[in-house]
Amino acid sequence: MLTLPHLLQSTFRTHGKRVAIHDAAGRLTWTQYAERIVRTAGMLRALGLAPGDRFATLCRNSVAHAELLLGGYWAGAVPVPLNFRLAGAELAMMLDDAGCKLLLVDESLSYFVDQAQLAPWRDRAVCIGPAGCGGGLPSTAELFEAARPVDPHEAQEHDDALLLYTGGTTGRGKGVRLTHANIVANALQLSRVMAPTEHDIYLHVSPMFHSTDLKATVVSMFGGGHVYLKEFSPQGVLETIERYGVTIASLVPAMIVRILKEAEIERYDLSRLRLISYGTSPIDEQWLRMAMERFAGVGFHQCYGLTETSPYVAILDETAHHLALQGRPELLRAAGRVLPATRVRLVDDQGQDVPPGQPGELLVSGPQVSRGYLGLPEENAAAFRGEWFHTGDVGRLDDDGYLYILDRKKEMVITGGENVYTREVESVLQRYPGVAEAAVLGVPDVKYGEALLAVLSMAGAAPPEPADVIAYCRDHLGGYKIPRRFMFVDALPRSPMGKVKKTELREAWLARETLTQDGPSCARN
pLDDT over threshold 50, residue 169: no
E strand spans, 352-500: 360-365, 372-373, 384-385, 388-397, 402-408, 413-415, 418-420, 435-445, 449-458, 485-488
Per-residue confidence (pLDDT) for residue 429, from 0 to 100: 94
How far, in Å, CA of 299 to CA of 248, rounded?
10
Of the candidate ranges 241-250, 362-371, 423-432, the one whose mean pLDDT is the lowest: 423-432
DSSP assignment of 269-293 equals: --TT--EEEEESS---HHHHHHHHH
CB atoms within 10 A of CB 4: 27
Q: pLDDT tier at 170 (50, 70, 90 boundaries)?
A: very low
Per-residue confidence (pLDDT) for residue 450, from 0 to 100: 84
pLDDT over threshold 50, residue 430: yes
Percent of the chain beyond pLDDT 90?
A: 76
Per-residue confidence (pLDDT) for residue 515, from 0 to 100: 42
Report pLDDT digits (tens) over 446-458.
777 788 999 999 9
- Orientation of helix 30-46 relative to helix 63-75, angle to 10°: 70
Per-residue confidence (pLDDT) for residue 167, from 0 to 100: 63
Q: Half-sphere exposure of 427 toward its Cβ, with a 13 Å CA cutoff?
A: 19
Average pLDDT over residues 52-56: 98
pLDDT over threshold 60, residue 8: yes
Average pLDDT over residues 389-400: 94
Report pLDDT digits (tens) over 130-150.
877 877 899 999 999 999 999
Per-residue confidence (pLDDT) for residue 280, from 0 to 100: 80
Report pLDDT digits (tens) over 296-322.
999 999 999 999 999 999 999 999 999
How far, in Å, CA of 165 to CA of 161, rounded?
14
Nearest residue to 442 via CA among 422, 468, 470: 422
Nearest residue to 492 via CA among 504, 474, 477, 478: 504
Report pLDDT digits (tens) over 62-78.
999 999 999 999 999 99
How buried is residue 274: exposed, middle or buried, by Cβ count under 10 Å (0-12/13-18/19+)?
Answer: middle
Per-residue confidence (pLDDT) for residue 519, from 0 to 100: 45
Report pLDDT digits (tens) over 90-142.
899 999 999 999 999 999 999 999 999 999 999 999 999 887 787 789 999 99
Per-residue confidence (pLDDT) for residue 458, from 0 to 100: 92
Per-residue confidence (pLDDT) for residue 172, from 0 to 100: 66
Per-residue confidence (pLDDT) for residue 522, from 0 to 100: 61
Per-residue confidence (pLDDT) for residue 411, from 0 to 100: 82
Which of 89 and 272 is assigned the larger pLDDT?
272
For 115, 126, 409, the CA distances from 331, given in Å and listed in that order, are 48, 48, 22
Q: pLDDT tier at 461 (50, 70, 90 boundaries)?
A: confident
Report pLDDT digits (tens) over 11-28.
999 999 999 999 999 999
Q: pLDDT tier at 516 (50, 70, 90 boundaries)?
A: very low
Q: Half-sphere exposure of 141 toward its Cβ, with a 13 Å CA cutoff?
A: 9
Per-residue confidence (pLDDT) for residue 524, from 0 to 100: 53
Percent of the chain beyond pLDDT 70?
A: 96
Query: pTM for the whole thing?
Result: 0.86
Average pLDDT over all residues of the chain: 92
Q: pLDDT tier at 424 (50, 70, 90 boundaries)?
A: confident
What are the structural domains, with CATH classification, of the chain? 1-15+31-155 (3.40.50.980), 413-524 (3.30.300.30)
Per-residue confidence (pLDDT) for residue 245, from 0 to 100: 98
Average pLDDT over residues 240-256: 95
Average pLDDT over residues 488-516: 81
pLDDT over threshold 90, residue 183: yes
